[in-house]
Amino acid sequence: MMRQYELVELVRRYNPNVDEALLDKAYVYGMMKHGPQKRASGDPYFSHPLEVAAILTEMRLDDATIAVALLHDTIEDTDATRDEIDAKFGVEIGELVESLTKLEKLDFVSKKTEQAENFRRLLLAVAADVRVLLVKLADRLHNMRTLQFMREDKRLRIAEETMEIYAPLAGRMGMQWMREELEDLSFRTLQPEAYQSICGRLTTLREENKNLIPAIEQALTEKLSSNGITAKVKGREKKPYSIFTKVQRKSLSFEQLSDIFGFRIVVDTIENCYRALGIVHTTWSMVPNRFKDYVSTPKQNDYRSIHTTVVGPGRQRVELQIRTEEMHRFAEFGIAAHALYKDGERTVGGRNIQKLSEASGAYAWLRETIQRLNDPNLAPEEFLENTKLELFQDQVFCFTPKGKIIALPRGATPIDFAYAVHTDVGNTCVGAKINGRIKPVMTELANGDEVEIIRSKAQVPPAAWEQIAVTGKARAAIRRATRDAVRKQFGGLGRQILERAFERAGRDFSDPILAAAIHRLGHTSVNEVLAAVGRGEIASDSVLKAVHPELVDKRGQLPKPASADGWFEAGTSGVMKFRVPDGGSDDRTAIPIRGLSGDLPVHFAPAGGAVPGDRIVGILTPGEGITIYPIQSPALKEFDDQPERWLDVRWDIDPAAPSRFPARITLNSLNEPGSLAQITQVIADNDGNIDNIKMIPKAADFHEILIDLEVWDLKHLTRIIQQLRTKPIISSATRVNG
Ligand code: MN
């Protein structure tokens, strides 16, 4: 246990005029009152107030605050009284100890109304004297550091309360190190498995990068000093909790986690902050979108620093914070650094919070919050919600139309919101109303937004949403839904293929018939076999042979198809010999093609497309699905010697839900001002949609123009081509068959 003189020494380091007599008196009184009391750890109870006092010396607090720390549990836990403390130490200290005693019983993990009331009392006590909060936070920090000795239920309650109230409050007051340590200690208790796995990963990375920190420190220091800047460069490992939130925010796996070190460059003047930044950016390449200037625009809690990330020495990503000595002190100690000690003189108690709020954003926030306490129109629960919103700066809180609150990380979109409500809501989300107005689903949500998700049963979340979503939950769900949808499409295609193969062989097809033979195909479920056929992993013939071994002849072959209704044979001579049904005809054995959003994995000829009205064939590409080609496509030659990949397909357009299809045209056009405008005008007038345009100069005054269009059908495409041909600037217009 720390001795009396050791504590005095800690204070003397920053305050040569320390009131030794006061501290000695408080030490002796506290120790005597707590007497033989023990903590859960078995240590003498008095070790706790002593450690709390020591924590406060790190923040360089005044003698009265240190004395209060030594006495903070006396009224609560011993026979000491307010009167006795007043008589021995004066009213100022007596008031502070009593305030802390009242706060001792506050419980923030309780019913909402109680929570609100308790929070109100905490803020009122803080308003009366900010030092109450500083002692309270130091008290909580020491309790968190020694939490392992408590019973489990108590441990969880205290950790939850710390994560909910005290850590964000410390952050809001600008006390960064306090916030980080409180969060980390709570995290360890609340999510021990996540904590352990991050620590394990950290140990590995630490081992792999043993000399990295000193090497980078040295490289930075030398580079700056050769440019005439004296700087303190300090590298540090990030805390597990901050890594955890980053992993969650960016949906990284721990294995992907690499930049666990942050570096601080502390210089003497603001000017040198920017000079140091210039030197860093000209020496190493900066990582885009990571630069933030909190010097010219400080955060609300007064935090100031320049942030940037560079690909630094040794090709390592290095996160940098550049700041002055003074900014550093504020970043670490926040309000504690602000005015408690100015020129060795105490200038703050409750009395001049008004004045301080002019100088400090943290105080301004505190004052405004406290003023709002007196608003008669604000119910206590509402007050608590509002204030919590502001405590959690890294989160946004939005509401469902029914008023349920949804907490999301900053940067979250309606997609994240939908998945936070329920996975089903996310999977069927097609749009969103924010505060009553339809907005794009990639809109960044703001605090207090009311979000209504527009849903459609037919929806499958687009794969691209995975990149837009910021929450891990949304991303994982989108990935799963996309994978399921693709699997279903392949299963559907597999069924179509098998139904036709069986029909050609004159055999019935059904799930039970297939089920009887799946073990011969090395699979355990009908759906697996269907999907494998759809993906092109199992040929339809193999399934037919497995189900009907009696069909196989002596050479192991199946008989040639007997019926001639729409099957084809591909010649090996380079001449295609196959029968295709007419476009739009009702051919029973052809696979119906709807479009891109249908139930099958369909693509269209990449260099020319295909449109309804075209006579078409499908080519099965293993792992990808069917690609639809117009029969006249020269690209089909390539598949001539792979008859097993040819599929008989037909259009099956739903007139109730028309969609557009891709087609490519080529034009020869005069190159004169306005010619491209004339061309696009014709296409627009005829309801064509342009997807892509490529111009190839052929001569000084002539262009070849390739246009990828989206049209309704062949008639529509033909009309556009005819209209283009009527323009004098166009010498030819034809369709491209890729
Ligand atoms: Mn205590």
CA–CA gap between residue 125 and residue 132 (Å, rounded): 7
Domain 393-470, CATH number (from 3.90.1150.10, 3.30.420.40, 3.40.630.10, 3.10.20.30): 3.10.20.30
Ion ligand 1 neighbours (CB, 5 A) are: 73, 139
Tell the residue number behind the tokens 């000690």, with chain if given.
Answer: 341
The token duo for 381 is 């629960």
| CB-CB contact of 89 with 22 (8 Å) | yes
CA–CA gap between residue 196 and residue 557 (Å, rounded): 60
Share of the chain above pLDDT 90, in %: 38
pLDDT at 344: 38
pLDDT at 347: 45
CA of 724 from ligand 1 middle (Å) equals 85
| CB-CB contact of 33 with 74 (8 Å) | yes
Torsion, Cα of 109, 113, 116, 122 (10° steps):
-80
CA of 3 from ligand 1 middle (Å) equals 19
The architecture that CATH gives domain 661-735 is 2-Layer Sandwich (3.30)
pLDDT at 209: 79
pLDDT digits (tens, 9 = 90+) for 201-222: 888 888 887 788 888 899 999 9
Question: Other C-beta atoms within 10 Å of 524: how many?
Answer: 10
pLDDT digits (tens, 9 = 90+) for 247-304: 776 666 666 666 778 899 999 999 999 999 999 998 888 887 788 888 887 877 778 9
pLDDT at 372: 65
Closest CA to 276 of 327, 318, 321: 321
The token duo for 532 is 């494998």
In degrees and rounded to multiples of 5, residue 324 shows phi and psi of -90, 170
The better pLDDT of the pair 580, 173 is held by 173
Catalytic site residue from 19, 24, 43, 77: 77
Q: Which helix (H) or strand (E) holds 104?
A: helix 91-104
pLDDT digits (tens, 9 = 90+) for 448-501: 788 999 998 877 888 889 888 888 778 888 888 888 888 888 888 899 889 888
Indicate the pLDDT class of residue 582, thresholds 50, 70 and 90: very low
Q: What 3-state DSSP class applies to 295? A: coil
CA of 73 from ligand 1 middle (Å) equals 5
Query: What's the 3-state SS for 44-96?
Result: ECCHHHHHHHHHHHHCCCCHHHHHHHHHCCHHHHCCCCHHHHHHHHCHHHHHH
Of 185-199, 359-373, 633-647, least confident by mean pLDDT is 359-373
Q: What CATH number is given for 1-103 in this structure?
A: 1.10.3210.10
| CB-CB contact of 630 with 664 (8 Å) | no
- Per DSSP, the residues of 366-429 read HHHHHHHHT-TTS-HHHHHHHHHHHH-TTEEEEE-TT--EEEEETT--HHHHHHHH-HHHHHTE
Indicate the pLDDT class of residue 536, thresholds 50, 70 and 90: confident
| CB-CB contact of 469 with 413 (8 Å) | yes
| CB-CB contact of 42 with 2 (8 Å) | no
CA of 72 from ligand 1 middle (Å) equals 6
Residue 710 in this model has a pLDDT that exceeds 90: yes
pLDDT digits (tens, 9 = 90+) for 218-257: 999 999 999 999 999 999 888 899 888 877 766 666 666 6
Indicate the pLDDT class of residue 399, thresholds 50, 70 and 90: confident
| CB-CB contact of 434 with 426 (8 Å) | no
CA of 617 from ligand 1 middle (Å) equals 79
Domain 207-342, CATH number (from 3.30.460.10, 1.10.10.10, 3.40.640.10, 3.40.1440.60): 3.30.460.10
pLDDT at 589: 67
pLDDT at 228: 92
pLDDT digits (tens, 9 = 90+) for 424-445: 999 999 999 998 899 999 899 9
For the chain, give the mean pLDDT.
Answer: 83
The token duo for 426 is 């996310």
Asked if 652 is an active-site residue, the reply is no
Query: What's the 3-state SS for 567-633?
Result: CEEECCCCCEEECCCCCCCCCCCCEEECCCCCCCCEEECCCCECCECECEEEEEECCCEEEEEECCC
| CB-CB contact of 218 with 252 (8 Å) | no
| CB-CB contact of 100 with 139 (8 Å) | yes
Q: Which residues, 6+ apart, have CB-to-CB distance to 444 below 8 Å?
A: 411, 412, 413
CA of 49 from ligand 1 middle (Å) equals 6
Rounded to the nearest 10 degrees, what angle do helices 176-190 and 240-250 cross at? 80
Q: What 3-state DSSP class applies to 721? A: helix
Q: Which residues, 6+ apart, have CB-to-CB distance to 41 below 8 Å?
A: 146, 149
Catalytic site residue from 20, 76, 117, 390: 76
Mean pLDDT of 71-99: 94
β-bridge partners, 664: 708, 736
In degrees and rounded to multiples of 5, residue 706 shows phi and psi of -100, 130
CA–CA gap between residue 510 and residue 487 (Å, rounded): 19
CA of 392 from ligand 1 middle (Å) equals 26
CA of 139 from ligand 1 middle (Å) equals 5
CA of 388 from ligand 1 middle (Å) equals 24
CA–CA gap between residue 424 and residue 418 (Å, rounded): 8
Residue 382 in this model has a pLDDT that exceeds 70: no
The better pLDDT of the pair 346, 542 is held by 542
| CB-CB contact of 446 with 396 (8 Å) | yes
Residue 172 in this model has a pLDDT that exceeds 70: yes
CA of 382 from ligand 1 middle (Å) equals 30
Closest CA to 663 of 646, 688, 640: 688
**Residue extents of the structural domains in the chain:** 1-103, 207-342, 393-470, 484-651, 661-735
Asked if 77 is an active-site residue, the reply is yes
CA of 444 from ligand 1 middle (Å) equals 42
Of 36-40, 69-73, 75-79, 574-578, least confident by mean pLDDT is 574-578
Of 149-163, 172-186, 293-307, least confident by mean pLDDT is 293-307
CA of 716 from ligand 1 middle (Å) equals 81
CA of 68 from ligand 1 middle (Å) equals 11
Question: Other C-beta atoms within 10 Å of 574: how many?
Answer: 8
| CB-CB contact of 482 with 461 (8 Å) | yes
CA of 530 from ligand 1 middle (Å) equals 67
Of 4-18, 63-77, 643-657, least confident by mean pLDDT is 643-657
Indicate the pLDDT class of residue 715, thresholds 50, 70 and 90: very high
Burial of 686 (0-12, 13-18, 19+ CB in 10 A): middle
Tell the residue number behind the tokens 């809109």, with chain if given.
Answer: 443
β-bridge partners, 233: 265
